[in-house]
Each structure stands twice: as structure tokens, then as C-alpha cells.
Amino acid sequence: MKVTVRRMTVEDMPDVKRVDLLSFEDLVEARYRDVRRVTPRTDDNILSYLRSDPEGSFVAVGDHAGIIGSSFSHIWGKVGWVGPVSVLPAYQGMGVGKELVRSSLEYLDKAGCADIGLETMPENQVNIGMYLRIGLRPVGLVLVMGKGLTGDEEDDELMDDAMIERFSESRAKGALMAQMRALSDSVHPGLDYTREASLLQEHKTGETLVALDGNRLLGFSIVQTHPRREGMQNAVVKALVVSPGAGTGPLLPLIAASELLAMDDRSAELSVPVPAVCARAVDALLSRGYSVAQTFERMMWLGGPGMHEKVYNLCSWSG
């Protein structure tokens, strides 16, 4: 069968949702039978990936079969990552996923990204084998730590002489964006989370919280409150960064404020991704009642992963 990889369009969304659902259902049936029900991705979720980088969103089309696979690319400054990648079960093992991943990797390379990679479930040896053959290498574990929000949470984590504010309510958005860009770069050269924050603001799918000492940015948390899948009530911290010069002070207040934000948007739980090597961040989340909900192995094709023991750069490269 001849397969063509082309750029995704908005008109492809129903097929992309179907491919993703069937692919995920097959994975759950094979490996995670304790998961009772798989639901489709929301339109908001797929549109957010497509809007993030329409030139880097791809579908695989089989002759007489229509769309049989999809992949998305994401650019955060000079950092690029791939995900999610989905292939219909009937066409897995035929090189379709490999071609989709290669299309995204090559796109990110041409876009000038210095650090390029993705994340996959470490227990999925088939995917890890495929990524190894493409040229990616495992570099470290990311823990997705989750917590149910009961309504009893209080913003009891305070910083001396500092405040947590919502970016959407700021009168100095331009100055804050410049500081967010500089702070991103300070935790990993070339990294820039501002596009992620702008997309949440533009499409009202979440909020960015900023920790300020006067006009100085000490840290920020980008929180997506619209769920990824239908029928779910979960919010996700897309990225949480603390200034290297601020110590541990802003971390727990930003987490506490992220929980309150999630509850305000009627989310029943919040998940926060943490590189396992960053033990202090792991311990901070454990102290607030979080537990490990899922794990991902970060794999690099080019450059470095941006995972450091003493740097608070909390994010996941999984879709």
C-alpha cells in the first residue's frame, strides 16, 4: 500500500480524532486493561495542537484507506518536540509511525530547533524500539504527578514580599512576556514558553500564573484547564518555571495557585509533570498529596533534554 504524508488541515479533524481514539483504545486493551473507558480527544485539544504549529502537523494517507495516522510538532523557541503520534491498529508495524515521526523531526530541524525529542511510555518496548531505530536515545524519566482536587485546598503557601497573579488580568502583558521569555532561556538556553502562554490566552483554554516581586518575575505556571479528552475533568500544568535566583520560594505557591485555578474552572484533578532527576520538586509535590499517575521516557534526536537536578523547569513533551 502506498502511504503519503502531508500537512494536516482543519477538515481532517474528524479523521484525526477517530485515528487517535482507535489507536489509544488498542493500546489500552493490550497494556492497560484496568483503564475502564477511553474517550475521544476534545476538539479544543486537537485544535490547540494544530494552531500551535499548522506547518508541523501531519497526517498519513493510504491509497483507498484515507487518513491512517497523524503526528504533531511543537516549537518552544529553540526546543522542538513531537507528539502525540497515532496510527490505526490495522496499519501499525508497517512503517507508518516511523514516517510520521521522521516528518516531524525533519520539520523541527529545518525550523532551527537546537534540541529535538519526544516522550513515550517506558513500558512500551515496541515504540521505544522504533524510536531507537530512527536515531532517538533515552535520556531520563518524567513523572506525571496527579492530585484529586477536593475543594479543601487553600492557598496557604505564601512567599514573603511576593504575589501570585493571573496573566490575563495584568496591565503589563508585554513586559511580562519579555520576562517569561528571558526566564525560560535562563533555565535552558533557547527555550521559550511564551507561545504556549499566548495560545492559552487567545483561545481561553487555560491561564498563566505569574509569581512577582514588585515588577520582577520570579516564576510562572502555564495551566491548561480544558481537558484533553471528552468527559474528563482534569487540568494540566503545561510548564512551571522558577527563576534560578529565587530558590525554592515560588514553587509551592505556584502549585497551590494552580490548584485553585483548576478548581475555579471545575477541574476535578490537576497533573504536574516533573523530571525525576529534580528531586526537590518531586518532594514538594509529594508534600501536597500528589502521587505518580504516569511516567514517560524522554528521548532525544538532537541536543539536550533540559532536565536538571537543581533547576525547576517542569514540563512534559507528551501530547
| Strand pairing category for 269-275 and 137-148 | antiparallel
Residues pairing with 59 in the sheet: 6, 70
Q: What is the pLDDT of residue 232?
A: 86
pTM for the full model?
A: 0.94
* Residue 127 domain flag: no
Kindly report the CATH number assigned to the domain that includes residue 13: 3.40.630.30
- 230 sits in the region (left: phi over 0; alpha: psi -120 to 50; else beta) called beta
The lowest-confidence range among 99-108, 146-155, 238-247 is: 146-155
From first CA to last CA, the distance across the chain in angstroms is: 28
CA gap 164, 33 in Å, rounded: 41
Domains contained in the chain, number: 2
* Residue 105 domain flag: yes
Q: What is the pLDDT of residue 251?
A: 95
> pLDDT tens-digit profile of 128-162?
999 999 999 999 999 999 999 987 655 555 566 67
Question: What does the angle CA 280 – CA 306 – CA 183 come to, to the nearest 5 degrees?
Answer: 80
> Domain range holding 172?
145-315
Query: Can you read off the three cell numbers belonging to residue 8?
Result: 494536516
Length of the chain: 319
* Residue 159 domain flag: yes
**In a shared domain, residues 182 and 283:** yes
**In a shared domain, residues 71 and 170:** no
